A and B are shown apart, each in its own frame.
Chain A
Amino acid sequence: MPSLDDYKGRTPAWCPGCGNFSILKTFKEAMVELGLAPHQFMLVSGIGQAGKFPHYLKCNTFNGLHGRSLPVATGFRLANNKMPVFVVSGDGDCYGEGGNHLMHGIRRNLNIKYFIHDNQIYGLTKGQGSPTTMEGMPTKNLPYGVLSNQLNPLSLAIALNCTFVARGFAGDQEQLKYLIKEAVNHEGFAIVDILQPCVSFNKVNTYEWYKQRVYHLDNTYNCQSRAEAFAKSLEWGDRIPTGILFKCRRPLFEEKIPFIQDTPLSSQPFDISKVGKTLQEFFV
């Protein structure tokens, strides 16, 4: 069985008090509790403070380009559908630069788990607005502050029939661990949007701000109903629901490719002896 020691990585370069620390700790604990060893899964990330995440633990890693982690994960998963594939990303990486990939990633429904550290701000580039920054927030790079409407990633995901849509909070590690484990155990594309205070650049959405607003969805809530989930996903402001908002089952993309069901592509040998027969096809 893996232990937390197996997951020891480099020392994080995040700001003291960053919400990412508790996500990192929770993620490691979830992996240990799931019985996953570092070499048994693939973690893909992009650019941003969340993009550095894989360096601060130990596991198979592809830390790619800004916004492009999902396509890399897609290619990897199709080449090895026997290995769990996770993506860590931030709100700029996933919802800004990578928005198009997110939309089509949800459509494909590969068995990929997408963990988005959503601090509603650009941290690495020091305080510009992100797609989830609240409208009207002043930023140094925009003369009138953020003028665009705040993106609602959960409504977007439910609208696209994403098979697992959840919201966690970095300040609630117990629930977050539960959500990570549920996402990993879910069969299908999963999104966990994790509210994560940026102590350096987001002076609005602070720990206190979130703590006053977040509440757990209780067992009276039906996460199987897409319409109910969509309505719930619209709730933002005085009260912010956390937990699993929506869950459904759709056929997996990789299940539709018959020849990778038993052996993943990466373990299939190349049979060069077939080439002669193919050449004959050009004798028309």
Chain B
Amino acid sequence: MDYTIKIGGEAGQGIQTIGDTLSVVFARSGYHVFTNQDYESRIRGGHNYYQLRLSDKPVHCAREAVDIVVALDKVSIMEYEKQLAQQGQIIYDSQSLKEKHEGNQFLDVPFVRLAVEHGGNKIMANTVATGAVLGMLGIDIEILLGILKDTFKKKGEEIIKANVDSAMAGYDFAVNNCIKCSFVSAETSKAKMLIAGNDAIGFGAVASGLKFYSAYPMTPGTSIMLYVASKAKDYGIVVEQAEDEIAAINMALGASFAGVRAMTGTSGGGFALMVEGLSLAAITETPVVIAIAQRPGPATGLPTKTAQADLLFALYSAHGEFPRVIMAPGTPEECFFLTNKAFDMAEKYQIPVIILTDQYLADSQWTYEGFDLNKLKYTDYRLRDKDLIGEDYKRHALTDNGISPFAVPGKGNYVVVTDSDEHDEEGHITEDAQMTILMTQKRLHKKMPAIIKDMAPPKFYGSDNPEIVIVGWGSMYGLLREAVDMLTNKYKIAMLHFSEVYPMPDTENFDYIKVLTEAKRAICIEQNVTGQLAHLLAVEKGFRFKEKINKYDGRPFTLEQLIGEINALIG
């Protein structure tokens, strides 16, 4: 069982409601789910879609072939009829769309008429559609009815009944009329958790002891702030919408200096404004975590689409030379645990840590059996006990490992001083040549070996001694993995996936460069035009890819598209 459902329509028609409801039904039923969304930078009109894939086996990416299209507008029919799988079906309401389609692949479901007849209001048309999809799939409707009862609990019995009747009407209509439906559903199992990439970053931050989040809204980074805000009262987190991204990062640094874990989040354009603040974090050695949800640029680019084009920007941004860490999670689970690791490393080494995600992963939901919370790390590296801090405390004391004890101001009879100018051990401004060398070495050379040791090597999956190695980073994980699964009968193929991108992990425990050099073909696959990971591997490790697959139209690969590209390249 591996079905893809695509709900298409104008913004404001409720495709998100239908998609979210179905996702919840499938997750509660114990199926594995993967969802992704494509939307335009507008609140009403245009054309958006919500795609979800369900299976009895884990799924990690979107497919090209669609089994059920829920068409709420004419564009959906025009665009997605050609994507239909062999037994695929398009459901639509001919009265609403004012057009009738003939053919086995069309099922005309009177969403509005059934809603009015059974629910008393055309507003229930989306509930009819949701019920109809379940009827087509032959999935028990009880879970949907339970969700409707929960959702409308506050609105009273009448509204609940109207929704339940509408869902039933859609369900029954599909069961009785979809003669061509040949979907077979696997047995249900234990309910799964359902989590989107950006929610997982927000949750990861909250679970790491985040106390302060400041940001300026920017798609697709805003949903991290929304998640954190939803937990602010419960966890005691101050969330502030800054006047701009410059203020956002400086506020986070002020809060961090005061002794709390602080974070900001944005997209590439907002990060451009934060760059001088990144440099400030570096010289003042103030821990901060920065999430960048990438979208295509330059400038405003495609505001609601996806890209992996800011890796080198994140790496080389800001004036001066200093250490930074870049995490690029590949799944919501990694979003959660790498955000935790980002906080730990930021605090441990007193450095900025960047989490790079993108619109595709930010808005994608995955299902899991659960997260192992025992893997969470929380160590308070700050000095808070005044008995341990003398009056002669020096914020930037020179130490063997480059890490100076970081005291929380105000706990005792000492002062904590830092400066964006080069400074001495006390934190006071200096122009001394020798001190400049010592401080530069402290910040960079002394900390770096330990930082590199903390970076996990890329994940390897697939054939031992592969002849073909496909390589990627960040949100490419799921696609690479399923591509390996699909092609494993055809080739000796494996994947390397980098989620702890910079500094590049050393090769001591796992010589991933050897894997690349020993393979007949190494192909770097990225959602950018120049091949930024490929560039980084060349610069940092001396490995040069001869083959690359790059996609830069703002849309994620589907599995079939990627396999097509790989097959075409291999020939």
Binding site for B on A (CB under 8 A): 10, 37-40, 42, 44, 47, 52, 54-55, 58-65, 68, 70-80, 82-83, 100-101, 103-104, 257, 259-260, 265-266, 268, 270-272, 274-276, 278-279, 282-284
Contact = CB atoms under 8 A, between A and B. Distances in A.
B138 interface: no
Contacts of B207: 272, 275, 278
A103 B231 CA distance: 29
B70 to A, nearest CB: 20
A282 B207 CA distance: 14
B27 A257 contact: no
Contact of B247 (A37, A54, A104, A266): A104
Given A39-B409, A61-B419, A284-B28, A75 B243 contact: no
Interface stretch (B6-14, B188-196, B457-465, B538-546): B188-196
Given A71-B242, A72-B257, A278-B203, A259 B236 contact: yes
A71 B193 contact: no
B244 interface: yes
B211 A268 contact: yes
21 contacts: A38-B415, A39-B413, A63-B419, A64-B280, A64-B284, A64-B420, A71-B250, A75-B214, A75-B253, A76-B258, A78-B212, A79-B260, A80-B410, A265-B211, A265-B260, A268-B211, A270-B378, A279-B370, A282-B199, A283-B191, A283-B193
B254 A76 contact: yes
Most chain A C-beta atoms within 10 Å of own C-beta, residue among B254, B255, B284, B416: B254
A78 B236 contact: no
Given A39-B415, A63-B419, A266-B259, A79 B254 contact: yes
Interface stretch (B59-67, B99-107, B421-429): B421-429
Interface residues of B, number: 69
Given A104-B242, A265-B212, 12 more contacts: A38-B415, A42-B258, A60-B416, A61-B416, A65-B277, A79-B255, A83-B410, A270-B261, A272-B209, A279-B193, A279-B373, A282-B203
Given A55-B419, A65-B420, A72-B250, A282 B195 contact: yes
B194 A284 contact: yes
B373 A266 contact: no
A77 B259 CA distance: 11
Contacts of A64: 250, 253, 280, 284, 420
B24 A100 contact: no
Interface of B: 23-24, 27-28, 191-195, 199, 203, 206-207, 209, 211-212, 214, 231, 233-236, 238, 240, 242-244, 246-248, 250-262, 276-277, 280, 284, 370-371, 373, 376, 378, 380, 408-410, 412-421, 427-429
Nearest to A266: B259
Contacts of B27: 283-284
Q: Which label, helix, strand, loop or mixed, suits the secondary structure of the B interface? A: mixed
A39 B414 contact: yes
A143 to B, nearest CB: 29
Contacts of B195: 282
A100 B242 CA distance: 11
A47 B419 CA distance: 10
Nearest to B336: A279
Given A74-B251, A74-B254, A79-B212, A63 B246 contact: no
Contacts of B421: 63
Contacts of B256: 75, 79
A100 B428 CA distance: 28
Contacts of A260: 236, 238
A44 B243 CA distance: 19
Contacts of B199: 282
A141 B412 CA distance: 48
A278 B373 CA distance: 11
Contact of B409 (A63, A72, A80): A80
Contact of A83 (B23, B409, B414): B409
Contact of A266 (B234, B235, B244, B258): B258
B240 A78 contact: yes
Nearest to A68: B250
Contacts of A101: 243, 246-247
Nearest to A276: B373
Nearest to B238: A78
Contacts of B233: 259
Contacts of B192: 283
A105 B212 CA distance: 17
A268 B236 contact: yes
Contacts of A61: 415-419, 427
A82 B256 CA distance: 16
A79 B413 CA distance: 20
A266 B255 CA distance: 8
